[in-house]
Structure 1
Amino acid sequence: MFADDCLMYRTIHDTSDAAALQADLDNLQQWEQDWLMDFNPSKCEVITISNKRNCISFPYTIHNETLKKTDCAKYLGVHITSNLSWSTHVDKICKKANSTQAFLQRNIRSCPQKIKARCYTTLVRPLLEFSSAAWAPHHKSDINNLEFQRRAARFVMRDYHRTSSVLNMLSQLNWPTLQQRRDTSKLVMLYKSYYGLVDIPPRHLVLLSSRTRGHNLRFVIPRASILVYQHAFFPSTIRMWNALPASLVTAPSCEAFRGGLTNIIPSASLEFSCTFFFSAPRLLHGCDNTRPPRDTSHHKEEEEEEEEVCR
């Protein structure tokens, strides 16, 4: 057996932290022997995630082989870079989606409109939205690169006239922009996190003590000293959440919340940005989407400095 998609990380302040991470790797080697697994050092990588110019360098090893360092690593389908820029991931998924779209245009050109629309929403759009709540970009160039729907709408409607309105085509197809769908995905994930429908620690969700305006479930926006964290999942999504009406944030189920966002999301998208670092796999509750009782205790915000990630 082989252990795939295994990730180990630690915050590195000095060489003692790096040595502790190496000790964790040594313990991992003992674990693989106990469970009859095998780590291939040639397929393992080390990525340093930091905005520092001079990072601590340490030769991490597995089976006495030094692991190679990289600036970009793919983890669970998402390309993570050392500076947490999502441009690389956007370029790769756009290339894959473009190839799939070209395949559809060659093979189902004469099919009915309904079939072509279904093929796009089934085969192309999921490639552009997988885990989008975690990596949704904030750079305008990346956002524009992801908008495949204008070309797809012309293909579905079989209308390539230069004077035709693509916005009218999107309206007829009832396709919201991918940016709006990413914002919806982020808000739904925050809803699940707050109400305990997903295993994400709600330490960033601290209720505001002052309620002079807005609903009673407004959260404190985490303080961000760097641009990457300012556009991260919690700061950017909390801004949109705080602008939602009270009737929506207290929706009785996830389906009701998602449905209520249909007419709200265009005006609630105050921040078109999102980046988030997957520190470890998360487990979803194997139950329905009705809200279970939740713990009302809150944790203080923790700031991350530098991460050494071994995969």
Structure 2
Amino acid sequence: MHVLCGAPQGSVLGLTIFIIFINDAPSIISSKSTLYAENLKLLGPALSCEDHAMLPKNLQLLGQWAEAWFLEFNVAKCHIIYFGKLNPCCSYFFLGHLLSFINSKQDLGVNIDNEPKLGTYAEICCWG
């Protein structure tokens, strides 16, 4: 099979090449984001209609960016966590799929919860 682009998996330089390959993804979107290895997170407030309109625009830009670079997102691993009691919890689509809502996610060994409570954190830390 002839490969036109990408980073070789399992090689010593594979991860470094991949990071260089995707490093410009956050620069094409207007919302705050974090990029660690192959994980990209979009962050932002949801206080107004403009705030809610920004996320679908950024998701569309990411979809176009991925298509231009011949990359695919695993939409099954894309989720939304809503924070705050005033957040209206809008539905969002990415690449034609409805993004699922989750209450918590473990990220780099840290549990991120939409209603952080010290008791829940202590349970996870002490009793796993």
TM-score, normalised relative to structure 1: 0.27
Q: 2:92 aligns with which of 42, 60, 63?
A: 60
Q: Please list, as runs of the form range in 1=range in 2, the aligned pairs for 1:1-311 lying within 5 A after superposition.
A: 4-50=38-84, 52=85, 54-96=86-128
* 8 A contact 2:66–2:73 mirrored in 1: yes
Amino acid at match of 1:92: I
- State the match for 2:15 in structure 1: none
* 8 A contact 1:59–1:67 mirrored in 2: yes
Distance 2:90 2:82 in 1: 11
Per residue, is there more strand in 1 or in 2? 2
Q: 1:30 to 1:90 in 2, by over 3 A?
A: farther
Structure 2, unaligned runs of 5 or more: 1-5, 7-17, 19-36
- The alignment covers a number of residue pairs equal to 94
Question: CA offsets per residue over residues 9-49 of structure 1, 9 Å max, x none?
Answer: 11111222111111111111122223333211211110111
RMSD over aligned Cα, in angstroms?
2.5
TM-superposed CA distance for 1:82, in Å, is 0.9
Distance 2:108 2:59 in 1: 20
* 8 A contact 1:47–1:82 mirrored in 2: yes
TM-superposed CA distance for 1:87, in Å, is 4.1
Greater Rg over alpha carbons, structure: 1
Per residue, is there more helix in 1 or in 2? 1
TM-superposed CA distance for 1:77, in Å, is 2.1
Amino acid at match of 2:114: S
Amino acid at match of 1:12: A
Question: CA offsets per residue over residues 132-176 of structure 1, 9 Å max, x none?
Answer: xxxxxxxxxxxxxxxxxxxxxxxxxxxxxxxxxxxxxxxxxxxxx
Q: 1:5 to 1:85 in 2, by over 3 A?
A: farther
Q: 1:86 to 1:67 in 2, by over 3 A?
A: farther
**Runs of 4+ with deviation above 6 angstroms:** none
TM-score, normalised relative to structure 2: 0.60
Amino acid at match of 1:94: C
TM-superposed CA distance for 1:86, in Å, is 4.8
* 8 A contact 2:79–2:100 mirrored in 1: yes
Question: CA offsets per residue over residues 41-77 of structure 1, 9 Å max, x none?
Answer: 2111101111x2x521311111111111111122222
Distance 1:61 1:40 in 2: 13
Q: 1:84 to 1:35 in 2, by over 3 A?
A: farther
